[in-house]
Amino acid sequence: MDSTPSDKMIRGQWSIPEDVVYLNHGSFGPSPRVVQQERDRWYRRLEAQPMDFYLRVMEDALDAALRELAELVGANPKDMAFVENATTGMNIVAQSISLRAGEEVLLSDHEYGAVKRIWEKTCEQTGAKVVYCRWPLVPRSSQELVDAVMDRVARRTRLIVVSHVTSPTAMIAP
């Protein structure tokens, strides 16, 4: 028997109206109902006792969630932080790296627009340069993507920025 979930079952997990096809889950995507319910539960807890929540509950809860996430992805929780979204995270990275004139930041041409703008602005301010590698719309293999990046790496390359799931095409990078 096929274990693939039905469209109705998948749609039932979201608050999106049936006549809407919503594809932008990266930028302004709605949360699944189960996430909405958990968010609401935490919000009610905050509203019930704000001082207790902020002074005694929130920090421990965030630390526990970070430890659990770190374990899931095989990282040290001290090397991780929760941020509002990926763009905020990328801005933090850009502001924490001291680029110098002549250095290069290498991106794929499939990067999210905000990521491109972050690095273009950062490089403009520091005298560094953004370099793009070209990825095909339909790669023959994962190695083709890796090779495209590595072919553009030079002595001046200071940082390589590659999204695991590309924004314009939803391609999964290795």
Residue 42, in any domain of the structure: no
**pLDDT > 70 fraction of the chain, expressed in percent and rounded:** 98
Asked whether the predicted pLDDT for residue 1 surpasses 70, the reply is no
Q: What is the pTM of this model?
A: 0.78
> Pick from 57, 60, 81, 56: which is nearest to 70 by CA?
81
* CA–CA separation, 14 and 6 (whole Å): 14
33 and 15 Cβ atoms separated by less than 8 Å: yes
Residue 129, in any domain of the structure: yes
Predicted confidence at residue 4, as pLDDT, reads: 85
Residue 154, in any domain of the structure: yes
* CA max distance for the chain: 61
pLDDT band, very low/low/confident/very high, at 27 (cuts 50, 70, 90): low
Name the domain count of the chain.
Answer: 1
What are the strands of the beta sheet with 157-161, ordered from one edge?
129-133, 104-108, 157-161
The Cα angle at residue 121 between residues 116 and 125, in degrees rounded to 5: 150
Residue 122, in any domain of the structure: yes
Residue 121, in any domain of the structure: yes
Give the range of the structural domain holding residue 146, as residue numbers without chain letter: 99-161
Residue 140, in any domain of the structure: yes
pLDDT tens readout for residues 102-154: 999 999 999 999 999 999 999 999 999 999 999 999 999 999 999 999 999 99
Residue 168, in any domain of the structure: no
Predicted confidence at residue 71, as pLDDT, reads: 98
Helices (H), the chain: 7-11, 25-28, 33-48, 50-52, 58-73, 86-96, 113-126, 142-150
Residue 139, in any domain of the structure: yes
